Structures are given as structure tokens and as C-alpha cells.
Structure 1
Amino acid sequence: MTEPTVAEGLRTDEDGVVTCAWHGGLSDYRVYHDTEWGHPVRDDTRLFEKICLEGFQSGLSWLTILRKREAFRAGFAGFDIPSVAAFGEADVERLVADPGIVRHRGKIVSTINNARRALEMQAEFGSLARYFWSHEPTPEERPAVIDLAHIRANPTTAVSVRISKDLKKRGWTFVGPTTVYAFMQAMGLVNDHLEGCACRTAVEHKRASFHRP
């Protein structure tokens, strides 16, 4: 029997479930797709970790970063914001020498800088979550259909450009609009699971019941 075809950007996995194709059926990537990507997050540590790792991902694949995530967490004190903000030059040199992470000095220094800026933002807004979720796109700012053509055509959005400009004004670095949009997708500020993906409805339910900070 011929298997039913699925839309471009989707795949039918060995368990017969249709999902976004970008995880490629790789077990760790599939778990990330199913259980993390797009699920709304309000924890400041996770938000800070993700925006920093998206900065490290620039020029690389997210799978590379995902598979180094535990090493990043070990090197950056679990992305505890006050701890990273207190890092000094010795920590920079330690991290530059750490083979478990992406040893990009500029991005390492940026993460420490951004932790200090995050502390300022927490003091101003009460939490990073309150700041980021205040920028959640309205329904009018979202397309009616999320398909591969939309994703390919929109690596940035007006909202991610706006957030990026504001973060840069506040002294954050490695937070371009593409990086910010990838962060928004991952942290659930938008649901970009494609139409037809088994996770899309589950994520929508989570977003509907999510208590915005």
C-alpha cells in the first residue's frame, strides 16, 4: 500500500506520526522538537540560556549546539544569571579552552555581557519573562497558515526586528533579528510547528493555558 504523502516540510516518522521534517528523525533532535520547541517558557534561566545559545548557534546548526548543551551548562554555571554576570577574564580563558563548547571568544564575552544586561532588565521589568512576553505577537501579526513557504520566507519578523533593536539599545550583543526570531520560536512566543505536525495542536493548547507573566 502506498503511504499517504505529506506536505513539504513534514515527515512521517517510524511510529507513523507526522511531524516537522527538520529534526530528520534523529532521536535527540526529535525529542527536542516534540517536548521543547515551541512550548511556552517563563523561567528566566531557561530564557537566558536559550537566547545565549541562539547567539552561539549563529553560523552553525542548532543540532550542533543541542548536542553541546550540557557542556555549555557546565561551563556557564547552568546559565544562572548572577553567576555568569560575575564571570571575569579567568572564566573567559577557561571557556575558550573548553573543548565541549563552541570556543568563540566574542560569543563567550557576549554571554557574560548579556548576563549583566539581563540583571538590569530584571531590575527594570521584574523578570526577563515579563519583558519578552510583553512582545508576544498579536494574532494580527501572525499569518493565518504556518507552512514551509512561510518559514522560509520569514527568518525574521517585524516583532523580532523590534526586539532586536531594543535589546541592542540596552547593550545586549549577538541578538540580531534572526537570532531573536529563532528564540521566539523555541520559547513559545510563536507556534511555528507546521500545519499538519502532530505537535502543533498540543503546543497551541499549552499556549492557550499558559499564564503570561
Structure 2
Amino acid sequence: MYRSLLRFLVPLALVILIRDLSNQVLNGGMARLPEATATLASFGLAFGLFFLVAAPLSQLTSTSLVLVTGRSSYRAVRNYVWLLCLLITVLLASLDFTPLGDLVIERAHGIAPPFSLLVRRALLWLMGAPILYGLTHFYSGLLLRVRRTAINGYSTLAGIVTSTVTVFLLLPLPFVQATPLLLPVLATYVRMVTEMAIVGYGYWRYVRPGQLAEA
């Protein structure tokens, strides 16, 4: 019993630890770029706004874990996931292209150009992230349902490794030196794509072949 409990909980604890360490790696990379202060501040605010807006997506792990019991419920929850990701993307776009962005970025945070323009640019470049973030949580919940928590841990570890390698590979490149904001954005996408690909494969390998068949 205790061995099964450890096999269930240890990967989850590993996920939390690795995610904390990954932020330090990314910050260290940005600190080595030109205009490091502006890049750190603008991306930090943009990423914070992204996670604030995308907070409902983090609940998709619990949603799929609890509500997906068969093929019909899988389709219903999957459609909900796509709709929610679309709504989050639209909300991010509103921060970039509507007066809501002026209220949230410039007035609420007291940020003036050119820093506010960098924040908006980062938000624009992050508009593809909600679907990756949402699907990762959705498939992670399905893997938890069949007790494949290790795959969630592996996906996070692989995401950290690939994003760390990306940071070191991109640092010396001229286009990154010219546009430092590209470094955290590209590293973030590499991490998200890696995590989503691994949990997606885990779903295809361990869940899809029959685990969702209606009783």
C-alpha cells in the first residue's frame, strides 16, 4: 500500500520542485542579455498576467480526472477545454489590443512606454500558449485517472531540460541579442510543447486504447 502511495505522490512532488527551479534558469538567461532589466520586468509582468488570465486552465487536471468516465464524457470535457482555451486567448488579445490593456498594464501597474509596449509584445507572442497549457492539464488529469503520474513528472522534467538547453543555445544568437524578449518567449514555448507532446503521447499509449470505453 505504501509503495503504491509513494509511486503516486513522488512524481507529483517532483513536478512542483522542478517547476520552481525552472524559473531560476530562465531568469538567469534573461539576466545575461542586453537590456536585462527591461526584459526581466516586462516578461515577468506579461507572464504573471498570462497565469492570472489562464488560471482556470490549471483546474482542467481535476476536471478531466473527475468528470471523464467514458467516451461521451471525454468528448464533452474536450469541447469544454477547447472553448475555455479560446476564451482565454481572446482575453489575452483584449489586454493587447483594447483599452483594457491600458487599464491593467499602464494604470493599475503604473507602467509607461516603452516598458508597457514590451509587456504588450510579450502578451501578443504568448497568445498561442493557452491551448498548449490547457491541453497539457487536460491530458495530465486523464493520466492521473489511470495512475500514470510518472508521465506527468517526466513531461515536466523534459520540458525543463529542453527549455534550459534552448536558453543556452539561443543566448549567443544575433536575433536574440537584438530582441532579448524572444529568449523567454521561445524557451516557454519549447517547454510547453515538450510537456504537451509527452502527456499527449501518454494519453495515446495508456488511456486511449480502451480505458475510456463506456461501462
Question: TM-score per shorter chain, which class?
Answer: 0.3 to 0.5
Higher helix proportion (structure 1 or 2): 2
Which one has a bigger Cα radius of gyration?
2
With normalisation by structure 2, the TM-score equals 0.33
With normalisation by structure 1, the TM-score equals 0.33
